[in-house]
Amino acid sequence: MSTISRDEVARVAALARIDLRTDEVDRLAGELDVIVESVARISEVATADVPATSHPLPLTNVFRDDVPEAPLPVEDVLAGAPQQENGRFAVPQILGEE
C-alpha cells in the first residue's frame, strides 16, 4: 500500500514552487514511498534497548601527536618557486594597490 500519493507529491512540489511533469510526480511518489517504507522497517528494529549511533563503527582520532620540528630552510622552500624576490615568493599583483 502506498503511503505517499501523487497528490501529496504535487502539493509539496507546488509549495516548494517546483514545476514537475506528470511522469516526475509518478516517479517521485514511488521513490518517496520506498524511503518511507525503509524508515518504517528501521523503526521496527530500533527498540529502546538499541543505543542510538551516528556511525556503525566507532571512530578514533586520526591526528598525529603535535611534535615541534625544525622548519625547512628558506632556500629549500624557494627552490621550487617560479619567481622569488628578497627571500619571498613573488606573485602577480591582483589588487590595484601600489
- pLDDT (0 to 100) of residue 4: 87
Give pLDDT tens digits for 36-61: 999 888 888 877 887 777 787 887 88
Cell numbers standing for residue 84: 622569488
Whole-model pTM: value is: 0.46
Calpha distance 44→4 (Å, rounded)? 19
Query: Per the structure block, which three cell numbers stand in for 52?
Result: 542510538
CATH code at 6-45: 1.10.20
